[in-house]
Structure 1
Amino acid sequence: MVDAVNRFSDILNGLAEQPAPKVTVADVLEAFGDRAFGALLAVFAAPLALPMPPGVSAILGAPLIFIAFQLMIGRPTLWLPSALMNRSMRRAEFQTMAVRLEPHLKRLERHLRPRWRFLYGRVADRFIGAVCLVLAVIVFLPIPFGNMLPSFAIAAFGFGLLERDGVAGLVGAVGAALSVIILALVWNALILAAVTFITAVGDSFERVTALFPG
Structure 2
Amino acid sequence: MPPAASERRKPISMILRELGEQDSLAVGEIIDRFGRRAFGALMFVFAIPNLLPLPPGSSTLLGAPLLLLSPQVAMGIPTLWLPKIIDDRRMAGASLDRIFGRLLPWVERIERVSRPRLTFMFGPAGDRVIGVVCTLLSFVLILPIPLGNLLPALTIGVLGFSLFQRDGLFALVGYALAAVSGAVLFVAADLVIDGVRHLVNWFGAA
Unaligned runs of 5+ in 2: 1-5
The TM-score with structure 1 as length reference comes to 0.82
Shift of 1:4: 10
Q: Does 1:173 align with 2:175?
A: yes
Q: CA RMSD for the aligned pairs? A: 2.5
Structure 1 residues 101-112: aligned runs within 5 Å: 101-112=103-114
Aligned equivalents of 2:33, 2:176: Cα separation in 1: 30
Q: Provide the residue aligned with 1:13 in structure 2.
A: 17
CA contact (8 A) 1:9 1:98 kept: no
Change (3 A) 1:115 1:144: same
Query: What is the deviation of 1:160?
Result: 1.3
Deviations 1:108-166 (A, max 9, x none): 11011111122222112111111110011111111122212111111111121222211
Between Structure 1 and Structure 2, whose CA radius of gyration is higher?
Answer: 1
- Residues matched between the structures, number: 201
Match of 2:3 in 1: none
2:56 to 54, 57, 62: 54
| Correspondence for 2:193 | 191
Higher mean alpha-carbon deviation, 9-18 vs 58-67, is at: 9-18
- Bigger drift between 151-160 and 71-80 goes to 151-160
Q: Which runs of 5+ in 1 are unaligned?
A: 205-214
Query: In the TM superposition, what is the alpha-carbon distance from 1:95 to its structure 2 partner?
Result: 3.1
The 5 Å alignment of 1:1-214 reads 6-20=10-24, 25-85=27-87, 93-204=95-206
Q: Relative to 1, partners in 2 of residues 1:86 and 1:178: Cα closer, same or farther, differing over 3 Å? A: farther
Shift of residue 86, structure 1, vs aligned partner: 5.5
CA deviation profile, 1:74-114 (whole Å, cap 9, x unmatched): 11111011343366777665333211111110101101111
